Amino acid sequence: MRSLNISNEKKRDAVVGMDNTPRKSKINYVLKDGSPKKTVKILKGLLEISEEYLVEKYGDLVKLGEEIIKGDPEIDMERTGRFVSGTKKLYIGKDNKIVYRVNLVEVVKNPDGTEKLRRDLSKTEANILGEIPLQWTGKKAC
């Protein structure tokens, strides 16, 4: 919840909390049979069957190719395709360990795809909780 420091025309001020409430769409999407659509997340793959892990396990791409022809080690029939819920976004490093201090970088590219500029992603500080309260105008934005 964010805080907002406001005052009215009588110079009475207050710090109030605000939170956004998501609006429910007025459009309902349905499937061909009339049932409501539902967004789901499906497990695509695991670290144990990733290309990097399998190349490390079998030695090189040629041996991995032979193993794929023999027995499909790149597919986990038990877990791939399952529905996933209650997930959180994590950032992982090159060694597939969770990274906690992440610096997001903005990369600007030229039209031909070459890198033009690299800079830290700008994070704008909120200016609504200053020492001087915002003046209430009596008008609402719709």
Q: What is the pLDDT of residues 5-46, one digit of tens each?
A: 888 888 888 887 777 788 888 888 999 999 999 889 998 888
Q: What is the pLDDT of residues 75-114, one digit of tens each?
A: 888 888 899 988 888 888 888 888 888 888 899 999 999 9
Q: Hey, CA dihedral for 52, 54, 58, 64, is it positive or negative?
A: negative
129, pLDDT greater than 70: no
Alpha carbon dihedral 19, 25, 31, 35, in 10-degree steps, equals 70
User: Which tokens go with 69?
Assistant: 């022809």
Helical residues (DSSP H) of the chain, grouped into ranges:
51-58, 61-71
48 DSSP assignment: G
According to the model, what pLDDT value does residue 134 have? 73
Look up the pTM and report it: 0.45
User: Which tokens go with 10?
Assistant: 């009588």
